[in-house]
Amino acid sequence: MARSKFLIDEESVLDQETPIEKTKTEKSKKPAPSKAVPEKKKVGRPKVKTEETKTINIAIPISMIEKINIAKCKYHDNLTEYINAVVRADLDANMKEYQKIYNMLN
């Protein structure tokens, strides 16, 4: 029976080091950097949250947007702070009434 020219002797293949293995070892021998890596600086606005928050989406009539943009100037143009202040003031003034309504409905 004649051997095909495409058959390879298994032992000779196992004894040889594959080019992939050589490439991996050569790449891993990188010289150490001579300079110390500087620390990464923080990017973006600083966090000013004093308590845990939850993000919600609200729909505001377009006719109110210009007035809201003027009013938020009091809070350093921070819309979130403005809306929190308005909601907090409403809750402080009306929470007893809201609680009565809630208790009647539940």
Q: What pLDDT shows up at residue 92? A: 98
For 14-37, the pLDDT digits (tens) are 566 555 555 555 556 666 666 777
Query: What is the number of domains present in the chain?
Result: 1
Question: Which residue segment(s) compose the domain that 89 sits in?
Answer: 62-105
Is pLDDT at 102 greater than 90 in this prediction?
Answer: yes
Residue 84 located in a structural domain: yes
Residue 101 located in a structural domain: yes
DSSP string, 27-77: HH-PPPPSSPPPPPPP-SSPP---S----------HHHHHHHHHHGGGGTT
Residue 35 located in a structural domain: no
Is pLDDT at 44 greater than 60 in this prediction?
Answer: yes
The pTM for the full model equals 0.53
